Amino acid sequence: MRILVDVMGGDLPPAELVRGGIAAGRELDIEIGFVGVPAVIRSALDEESIKEGSRFSIIPATQVISMDDAPVRAVREKRDSSLLKGIIALGNGHGDGFVSPGNTGAVVVGSILTLGRIRGVPRPGIATTLPTVDDGVVVVIDVGATVDPTPRHLLYFALMGGSYARDVLGVRTPRIGLLNIGTEKSKGNKLVQHAFTLLQQSSLPFAGSVEGHNILTAHPVDVVVCDGFVGNVFLKTLEGGTSAVVHLLRAGVGRGGMRTKLGGLLLRPVFRHLRHQLSYQRHGGAPLLGVNGVVVIGHGRSDARAIAAAIGVAKRAAEVGLNKRIAQGIEGWGKVGS
């Protein structure tokens, strides 16, 4: 098993991502292919006293796609970028999965154009995993690959997200919910109302509509299906809500007197644990589902630990044959006529 890692396109320096790759390679007992400028990667390997070889190899790339690059243009013009070279290497069978903390739009466009879609999948979706307060997880799909989907696209997000939750994350029978603004069937915009009907008619374990205020606390479903624009807003707003509370709390303790300061000191371990619970980085990358290959998108600010977690996600997806299972699920649909 070899996972390819784009070490150039993230916000953090390549050496940090190489460290994450080495750690994951050792811990998971797999090969890692680092994609990027060879001299930079070699120097990072040297620092860790690692020799280039089959265990830790280098796939050379001279260009970098930055976070601000327009995706379609970047994919077209930066053919020798680490992001695209990684996807091309994956497509050529030089790896079992690819991880990039780079420009999400470019990963999506590059993957569709280079790897193609899984037979039957109309559009890919990015599936992110969030921790719930009961120590479980919830998968949200799509969080940004397809921003103007049709109701039918949402149906395929549901199938792919359910397969990911079951086959990779180990949720036995994932309940699927539709992100909406009320739980009654009449609620929502046209897209969501139509998708509701399609989901109800499908063979998927559809549990109805869910709302943003209790997804992490009540854990009503295991997979939340939404339009990529809405899913991205959802994700960022969740972060906004939590960071607002943390801000206010810190300010409250800072403003207080001796008693408050002492209280803050005594609760320090609780605050530290809270920060750890809220750190989505732990949960690693978000797979781009629906393309012909295991592609995992890491957060732009991914550090060594986050990139190692994303590599773990790619490894599991590759070893359970997630894409084959998705393809089988779609074939099964064909037969039952839904």
Q: Minimum CB separation from its own copies for residue 182, in Å? A: 8
Torsion of CA 218, 223, 227, 232, to 10 degrees: 70
**DSSP codes of every residue in 80-127:** TBHHHHHHHHHHTTS-SEEEE-S-HHHHHHHHHHHH-BPTT-SS-EEE
By the 10 Å C-beta count (0-12 exposed, 13-18 middle, 19+ buried), 270 is classed as: exposed
Which element (helix H / strand E) includes 141? strand 137-141
Q: Minimum CB separation from its own copies for residue 290, in Å? A: 18
Nearest Cα to 217, choosing from 131, 296, 283?
131
| Residues in contact with its own copies by the rule CB under 8 A | 68, 70, 133, 144, 147-148, 179, 181, 184, 186, 188-190, 192, 211-217, 227, 229-230, 232-249, 251-253, 256, 259-260, 262-267, 269-270, 273-274, 277-278
Residue (57 or 193) nearer to its own copies, CB: 193
Residue (103 or 292) nearer to its own copies, CB: 103
Residue (39 or 245) nearer to its own copies, CB: 245
By the 10 Å C-beta count (0-12 exposed, 13-18 middle, 19+ buried), 191 is classed as: middle
Q: Minimum CB separation from its own copies for residue 47, in Å? A: 33
Residue (224 or 304) nearer to its own copies, CB: 224
Question: Whole-angstrom Cα distance, residue 88 to residue 78?
Answer: 13
Nearest Cα to 199, choosing from 212, 214, 181, 180?
180
Nearest Cα to 17, choosing from 327, 306, 245, 261?
306
Question: Whole-angstrom Cα distance, residue 332 to residue 176?
Answer: 18
Q: Minimum CB separation from its own copies for residue 108, in Å? A: 13
Q: Minimum CB separation from its own copies for residue 250, in Å? A: 10
Q: Minimum CB separation from its own copies for residue 298, in Å? A: 17
Residue (38 or 71) nearer to its own copies, CB: 71
Residue (94 or 194) nearer to its own copies, CB: 194
Residue (35 or 216) nearer to its own copies, CB: 216
Structure tokens at 294: 């295991």
Q: Minimum CB separation from its own copies for residue 16, in Å? A: 22
